[in-house]
Chain A
Amino acid sequence: QQPVQSPQAVILREGEDAVINCSSSKALYSVHWYRQKHGEAPVFLMILLKGGEQKGHDKISASFNEKKQQSSLYLTASQLSYSGTYFCGTEILGSQGNLIFGKGTKLSVKP
């Protein structure tokens, strides 16, 4: 049931773009994206609900393809502060609302 995230790791230069994918084998109610820095708790980025959504904030956006049960997180013109591990958390349709997290994508932004 654990969603599959890809890539596992990515290294960028400041200003470059990145895409992180999250794929589930189960029908989903929602997909949540978080960023976690070393030694800290995950920070909520955004939630996408079933019905197909796209949303963004500043230069981070995401989409949810309900038919494919896939979500993608887009990081545009990356900044040093974007470095961290990104997790997608999936809420399976009909569940109690608990999230199942992918293994994470480690993003490193270099100057």
Chain B
Amino acid sequence: GAVVSQHPSWVICKSGTSVKIECRSLDFQATTMFWYRQFPKQSLMLMATSNEGSKATYEQGVEKDKFLINHASLTLSTLTVTSAHPEDSSFYICSARVGAGGSSRGQYFGPGTRLTVT
């Protein structure tokens, strides 16, 4: 159980275009999903917390107009990188939390999406 999928696995796009990444919880409902980015040989950096039916909460320094997050259902959250630039190239990983609040039973990660902006 607790399987999270991401699509696509990798994407190469040209500078200035927008890219959408989907994150799905396949066998459970996730009220809360998280979006991380990871640069080579570095730790995971939280970008935003996505709550179903409400606006995402962004971490300090993350541009909400550039990284659009939509959590339209209990099994789907999307991250859209708008007007992508080469410095946005990174490994983007989503996770979904099993349980809520005090009953949290862990977060499960999707397989990640490698974005390369040329």
- List residues of A whose CB falls within 8 A of some B CB: 2, 29-30, 32, 34, 40-44, 46-47, 87, 89, 91, 96-104
Q: How many A-B residue pairs have CB under 8 A?
A: 57
Q: Which of B67-75, B78-86, B100-108 contacts A (4 or more CB under 8 A)?
A: B100-108
A44 with B46: CB separation less than 8 A: no
With an 8 Å Cβ cutoff, the count of chain B residues facing the other chain is: 25
B44 with A42: CB separation less than 8 A: yes
Q: Is the interface of A mostly helix, strand, loop or mixed?
A: strand
A102 with B110: CB separation less than 8 A: no
For B100, what are the chain A residues with a Cβ–Cβ distance below 8 Å? 97
Assembled-state Cα–Cα distance A89/B97 (Å): 13
B46 with A99: CB separation less than 8 A: yes
Q: Kindly supply a per-residue 1/0 record for chain B positions 90-118, scoring 1 wherever the CB is within 8 Å of any chain A CB and 0 otherwise.
A: 00010101001110111111111000000
A97 with B97: CB separation less than 8 A: yes
For B46, what are the chain A residues with a Cβ–Cβ distance below 8 Å? 98-101
A41 with B110: CB separation less than 8 A: yes
Complex A-B: 17 CB contacts under 8 Å: A29-B102, A40-B112, A41-B109, A41-B110, A47-B104, A47-B105, A89-B44, A89-B107, A96-B32, A97-B32, A97-B49, A97-B97, A97-B104, A99-B95, A101-B43, A101-B44, A101-B46
A104 with B106: CB separation less than 8 A: no
Q: A40-B112, A41-B93, A41-B112 are in contact. Are A99 and B43 (CB under 8 A)?
A: no
For B111, what are the chain A residues with a Cβ–Cβ distance below 8 Å? 40-41
CB distance from A37 to the nearest CB of B (A): 12
